[in-house]
């Protein structure tokens, strides 16, 4: 009899993890949970308290700090597999899931599907010969060692790779392996998983190699399964339905996608929006049904391609369904640092990045040169960023896998701030009040093109009161928004006052806030 052990990788939403686990185990299957070590200890304690006594649930022995594109994701998966193999001797299949996945078929249907053929389901395409990688580096993923995360430390990532190229430090792939690539969402038989774990224990050279490849979760299991299992026993496809937008981000499903999801030739789907409560309830109820017959039309990707093509041709007849929900997400918090002196805000958020786990981006809507990850082209110009501002910010949340994000904004961008205020996400503003000398205001006037190098001093002096008033007017407009989450740092305030403001704005301990507040030269021009 088929029994599935689900390997659940998650990093947030403890109530959602608990609910998902209870749904999966209610149908007789098992769950091994790995909860990201970067995430809240209190959240993990909540999960263990709720599920620890359930004999169908186990936890990874070690919690790994996970980062997108890093070996840590593979390490976390291996920890989950080891725990599941030891805890569930009756499990016949091991299925990779995330906290954003939901079943789109009944448990009965899923088991029958897996019993119908003795095979592993994992995308397994030739790394060199296929076009699976659409953008970014390809061969460089393997032949160079990657110690830095491209999303978090982009400059060091590419600097390290360039140095290896310059000094001829390319390495060889382990000779007996043919590198394969594919989605990380797979379902493997027990004997395959045991063979992989045994191989990993014996071949340290292979794990060392993959530990410094880029995005190894797309190559490690795919390569090892192809190495250890006859090709006739591998179905090179995932059983989890997922799609990607024009910008390379996963399509998110909402309440009105229930019928579409059920008609796809897949067993699970990701990503299900945390706000899609009705969809989650309906899919949860579906999972434990018996005798349900499904009509498979499998048209999801064709619809997506059709609608996307119309948009590219300038003939969009209707809103794209993956754009129907433009909210950043009810569970997310957008934190804006508003400061007229951009260098002050940049110093502050740089310090925040160094002392907290909260991602922060400089003046993304004000400065073209702002460093951003590759988001498929939406980030390439200020005009695109502004036109698709909610989509851009949502993609940044997804990129870093976070529920909190800091953006620097100019206080004059009041329409932008008002737009984000209307979103379902929580909004906080930290306004930094700076002292403005006449020299600084003259420099500001020149930077924005209000005056030039040849403007007479007398004319400049006449303008200064108006410029100073304009800066104050922008601050007044921010206050007029009457946000509950409006905090202030002031150049002339005490360290204690600024510490309190930072601690409340960032929701961090006072000790950490104080380290930020005492940053050297924060207000120096």
Give residue-wise pLDDT tens across range 337-360: 999 888 999 999 999 998 998 999
Q: Could you tell me the two tokens for 256?
A: 């009105």
DSSP-assigned states of every residue in 245-259: -TTSPBPPB-GGGHH
In a domain, residue 307? The reply is no
In a domain, residue 90? The reply is yes
Tens digits of residue pLDDT in 438-484: 777 777 777 666 666 666 676 667 677 777 777 777 878 888 888 88
SS (H, E, C) 384-395: HHHHCHHHHHHH
**What integer pLDDT is reported at residue 471 of this predicted model?**
72
* Mean pLDDT rounded to a whole number for the chain: 88
Helix boundaries (H) for 235-316: 258-262, 277-287, 300-312
Q: Do both 495 and 367 map to the same domain?
A: yes
Which of 22-31, 210-219, 418-427 is predicted least confidently?
418-427
Range of the domain at 485: 333-517
Which is nearest to 143 in space by CA: 203, 212, 222? Answer: 212
Using the 3D structure, point to which of 249, 281, 302 is the last residue of a domain. Answer: 302
**What integer pLDDT is reported at residue 75 of this predicted model?**
97
SS3 8: strand
Phi-psi map region of 168: left, alpha, beta (phi>0 left; psi -120 to 50 alpha): left
Q: Could you tell me the two tokens for 207?
A: 């794990």
SS3 48: helix
In a domain, residue 312? The reply is no
Q: Do both 365 and 267 map to the same domain?
A: no
What's the CATH number where 95 sits? 3.90.550
**What integer pLDDT is reported at residue 324 of this predicted model?**
39
Q: Do both 339 and 208 map to the same domain?
A: no
Instruction: Answer yes or no: are the C-beta atoms of 18 and 98 closer than 8 Å.
Output: no
Which is nearest to 483 in space by CA: 431, 415, 427? Answer: 427
**pLDDT bucket at 183, cuts 50 / 70 / 90:** very high
Q: Do both 464 and 510 map to the same domain?
A: yes
Tens digits of residue pLDDT in 383-429: 888 888 888 898 899 889 899 999 999 988 888 898 898 888 999 99
In a domain, residue 92? The reply is yes
Q: Do both 259 and 115 map to the same domain?
A: yes
Residue 244 has pLDDT above 80, yes or no: no
Integer-rounded Cα radius of gyration of the chain: 26
CA 239-240-241 angle, to 5 degrees, is 115
Which of 72-81, 266-275, 311-320, 507-516 is predicted least confidently?
311-320
Instruction: Give me the torsion for CA of 386, 387, 390, 391, rounded to 10°.
Output: -120
What is the count of structural domains for the chain? 2
Instruction: Answer yes or no: are the C-beta atoms of 178 and 129 closer than 8 Å.
Output: no
In a domain, residue 319? The reply is no
Instruction: Answer yes or no: are the C-beta atoms of 251 and 243 closer than 8 Å.
Output: yes
Q: Could you tell me the two tokens for 499?
A: 């510490």
In a domain, residue 309? The reply is no
* Cα 153 from Cα 146, distance rounded (Å): 11
Q: Do both 359 and 446 map to the same domain?
A: yes
DSSP 291: S
Q: Do both 279 and 341 map to the same domain?
A: no
**What integer pLDDT is reported at residue 462 of this predicted model?**
66
What's the CATH number where 381 sits? 3.40.50
Q: Do both 14 and 89 map to the same domain?
A: yes
Average pLDDT over residues 98-111: 94
In a domain, residue 154? The reply is yes
Instruction: Answer yes or no: are the C-beta atoms of 487 and 505 closer than 8 Å.
Output: yes
Helix boundaries (H) for 288-381: 300-312, 342-355
Q: Could you tell me the two tokens for 32?
A: 């091994």
**Pairing state between β 102-103 and 93-98:** unpaired
Q: Do both 457 and 401 map to the same domain?
A: yes
Q: Do both 371 and 269 map to the same domain?
A: no
In a domain, residue 190? The reply is yes
**What integer pLDDT is reported at residue 464 of this predicted model?**
74
Q: Do both 296 and 337 map to the same domain?
A: no
Q: Do both 224 and 131 map to the same domain?
A: yes
Using the 3D structure, point to which of 253, 279, 302 is the last residue of a domain. Answer: 302
| CB proximity list for 232: less than 8 A, separation 6 or greater | none
């Amino acid at each position: 009899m088929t029994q599935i052990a689900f390997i659940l990788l998650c990093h947030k939403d403890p109530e959602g993890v608990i609910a998902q686990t209870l749904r999966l185990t209610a149908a007789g299957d098992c769950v091994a949970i790995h909860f990201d070590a970067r995430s809240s200890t209190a959240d993990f304690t909540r999960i263990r308290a709720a599920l620890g006594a359930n004999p169908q649930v186990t936890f990874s022995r070690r919690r790994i700090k996970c980062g997108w594109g890093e070996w840590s994701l593979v390490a976390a998966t291996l920890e989950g597999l080891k725990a599941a193999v030891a805890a569930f001797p009756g499990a016949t299949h091991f299925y990779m899931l995330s906290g954003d996945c939901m079943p789109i078929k009944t448990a009965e249907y899923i088991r029958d599907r897996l019993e119908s053929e003795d095979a592993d389901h994992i995308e397994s395409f030739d790394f060199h010969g296929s076009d699976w990688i659409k953008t970014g580096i390809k061969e460089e993923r393997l032949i160079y060692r990657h110690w830095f995360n491209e999303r978090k430390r982009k400059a060091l990532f590419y600097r390290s790779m360039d140095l290896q190229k310059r000094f001829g430090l390319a390495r060889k792939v382990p000779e007996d392996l043919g590198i394969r690539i594919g989605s990380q969402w797979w379902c493997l038989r027990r004997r395959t998983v045991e063979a992989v774990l045994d191989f990993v224990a014996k071949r340290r050279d292979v794990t060392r190699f993959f530990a410094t490849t880029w995005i190894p979760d797309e190559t490690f299991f795919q390569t090892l399964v192809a190495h250890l299992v006859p090709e006739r026993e591998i179905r090179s496809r995932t059983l989890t339905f997922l799609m990607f937008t024009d910008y390379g981000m996963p399509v998110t499903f909402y309440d009105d996608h229930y019928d579409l999801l059920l008609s796809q030739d897949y067993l699970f789907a990701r990503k299900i929006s945390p706000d899609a409560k009705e969809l989650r309830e309906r899919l949860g109820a579906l999972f434990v049904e018996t005798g349900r017959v499904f009509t498979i039309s499998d048209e999801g990707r064709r619809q997506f391609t059709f609608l996307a093509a119309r948009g590219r041709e300038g003939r969009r007849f209707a809103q794209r369904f993956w754009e129907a929900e433009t909210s950043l997400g009810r569970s997310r918090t957008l934190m804006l640092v508003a400061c007229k002196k951009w260098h002050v805000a940049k110093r502050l958020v740089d310090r925040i990045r160094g002392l907290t786990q909260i991602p922060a981006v400089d003046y993304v809507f004000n400065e073209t040169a702002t460093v951003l990850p590759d988001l498929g082209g939406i980030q390439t110009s200020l005009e695109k960023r502004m036109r698709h501002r909610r989509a851009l910010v949502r993609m940044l949340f997804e990129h870093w896998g976070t529920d909190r994000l800091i953006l620097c904004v100019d206080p004059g961008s009041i329409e932008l701030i008002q737009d984000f205020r209307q979103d379902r996400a929580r909004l906080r503003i930290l306004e930094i009040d700076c002292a403005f000398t006449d020299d600084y205001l003259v420099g500001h006037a020149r930077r924005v093109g209000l005056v030039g190098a040849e403007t007479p001093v007398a004319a400049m002096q006449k303008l200064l009161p108006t410029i100073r008033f304009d800066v104050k007017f922008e601050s007044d407009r921010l206050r007029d928004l009457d946000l509950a989450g409006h905090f202030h740092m002031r150049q002339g305030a005490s360290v204690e006052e600024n510490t309190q403001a930072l601690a409340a704005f960032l929701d961090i301990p006072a000790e950490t806030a104080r380290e930020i507040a005492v940053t050297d030269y924060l207000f120096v021009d």
